[in-house]
Amino acid sequence: MASQVRPRDGNTHSLLYPGAFDTHVHVFDPELGPYAAGRAYTPEDAPLKKLIAFNQILSSNPSSNTLVLVQPSPYNNDCSVLIQCLQKLKNQNIKAFGIAVLDLDNTTDAQLNEMHDLGIRGIRLNFQADGKEVSTDNLVAALHRTADRIRYLQGWMIQLFVPGWIWDNLHDIILELPVKIIADHLGGLRGSSKLSSDFKSVPMSQPGFKSLLSLAKQSRVVVKISGLYRVSSDTSSTYSDLQSIIETFAREIPDQVIWGSDWPHTGEGQNRLERRLDVKEPFRTIDNFAILDRLYDWMGSGGYQKMLVDNPRRLYPS
């Protein structure tokens, strides 16, 4: 089961506003295309029709919303499923964009332009899905190689799924890149429930926090408020140990945050090192309404509107 849907209680803050963007969703459909042989895990099925149904349940006006499909790691750099889904959404008059994972050495400029016409607006670099240690040197090389290739495509960005500490290593490099960066899942910053004793009392002192905030203030990075369950273990309070971090974002970088549901809520990379590929990994059960309620409380009405509607509309213009 990909998400938990609880009865409506009259609180409209837990519904997506008209014109909202869900900037981080995945489709897993082996009928549309096979998974990569060297993938880190095999997910349960999450076809496009279930994604559309999820968005309709969560929205006050689904017809006005926009989805951003992110290439998930089990497909590696084969974007055929992503491309098929974007075309299907276009045929259904559902507004959508995409973030791809590509082998740029074997992708032509003509192919990139075709992807752009279909709504793809960036490339994802995922250094978390397999649970292995992150090499800063490899990441920096990938950043430069990717930025140099996509810098001429209007509106294209690099989306990074990395641990929070690495922003200290990337700060000066990102300032010089010719494209913007999207920081997945709070940029990997963690709530106190997932921090060592040195940082539990003041989560904002954790490595990477100041660098990520600095980059966002300089409009070089957009922070995606998503996957709270990836950076907090405090499930009983709906991840309240992230409150101080998100309130800081709302106060100091209100124009540089966006939201993504992270549907269908996949598992963790560190749990996959010994997992068999012939066993499908179940999705998490997540109360998305409760998370949206929390975010409204922490960000305030103005910050919530910017996060859901104004900021992503500027990032993904029609």
What are the tens digits of pLDDT across the range 259-290? 999 999 999 876 676 678 989 999 999 999 99
- Kindly report, residue by residue over 118-157, the tens digit of the pLDDT: 999 999 998 865 556 788 999 999 999 999 999 999 999 9
CA distances, 301 to each of 53, 159, 209, 250 (Å): 26, 27, 24, 10
Judge whether residue 6 has pLDDT over 60. no
Q: What is the pLDDT of residue 186?
A: 98
Q: Say how far apart CA 297 and CA 306 lie, in whole Å.
A: 14
Burial class for 248, CB neighbours closer than 10 Å (0-12, 13-18, 19+) = middle
What is 21-315's CATH superfamily? Metal-dependent hydrolases (3.20.20.140)
CA 181 to chain centre: 12
- The tally of CA atoms less than 13 A away on the side-chain side of residue 54 is 27
CB 79 within 8 Å of CB 107: no
CB 203 within 8 Å of CB 212: no
Structure tokens, 36? 């990569």
- Kindly report, residue by residue over 197-216, the tens digit of the pLDDT: 999 999 999 999 999 999 99
pLDDT band at 1 (very low <50, low <70, confident <90, very high): very low
The residue count for the chain: 318
Average the pLDDT over each of 1-10, 119-128, 176-185 and give the range with the smallest value. Answer: 1-10
Task: Please state the rounded mean pLDDT for residues 214-239.
Answer: 97
Q: Say how far apart CA 260 and CA 291 lie, in whole Å.
A: 11
Judge whether residue 114 has pLDDT over 90. yes
- Kindly report, residue by residue over 304-316, the tens digit of the pLDDT: 999 999 999 999 9
The secondary structure element, H or E, covering residue 231 is: helix 228-231
Give 269 or 7, the one with higher predicted confidence: 269
Judge whether residue 7 has pLDDT over 60. no
Q: Say how far apart CA 8 and CA 45 lie, in whole Å.
A: 27
Task: Please state the rounded mean pLDDT for residues 59-85.
Answer: 96
